[in-house]
Amino acid sequence: MIMNKASTALAALFLVTAARLASAHATLLDSTPKNGETVAAPLAEMRLKYNEPLETGFSQVRLFGPDGKPVSVGKLRAVDGEAGTVLLPLPGLAPGAYKAQWSAMGRDGHRTKGELGFTVK
């Protein structure tokens, strides 16, 4: 009986700890442009909003143009007063489909990755 209670308590502690760790990773909540969006004019910047502040020195966004080649972009920077939001300066983008691959490191040191696509008319 004592072993059963101890096992149950240990399992509950494990689940709570695992849930906290899982929710501690940087998750992309929103972006401008949004995934799949078509924009009428080239954008000056890409805005990414995460659920937590990022270590911008260890986070990056790689942009690929309609030809599949990397596009040279500016330096990723945090937005003052908007925890978890970063900006990526963009050059003048020609019409076509673009793919952005992001890699974000949260303050907990864990890295998450993802991608989104958008089209410039």
**Cα atoms in the Cβ-side hemisphere of radius 13 Å centred on 57:** 2
Residue ranges per domain, the chain? 2-120
28-32: strand order across its sheet: 28-32, 45-50, 85-89, 77-78
pLDDT at 17: 44
List, for residues 41-93, the tens digit of each pLDDT value. Answer: 889 999 999 999 999 999 999 999 999 999 999 999 999 999 999 999 999 99
pLDDT at 2: 57
Residue of 54, 65, 68, 75 whose CA lies nearest to 96? 65
- In order of 34, 49, 63, 102, 118, the CA distances from 73 in angstroms are 18, 18, 7, 13, 16
pLDDT at 16: 41
CATH number, span 2-120: 2.60.40.1220
71: which 2 tokens?
A: 């596009």
Whose structure tokens read 């911008």? Answer: 56
pLDDT at 15: 43
Element (H, E) at 64: strand 60-64
Q: Quick check: 98 pLDDT over 90?
A: yes
CA–CA distance, 30 with 109 (Å, rounded to integer): 21
List, for residues 11-48, the tens digit of each pLDDT value. Answer: 444 444 444 444 569 999 999 999 999 999 889 999 99
50: which 2 tokens?
A: 């995460």
CA–CA distance, 112 with 26 (Å, rounded to integer): 6
81: which 2 tokens?
A: 């007063």
- Residue bearing the bigger pLDDT, 120 or 13: 120
pTM (predicted TM-score): 0.78
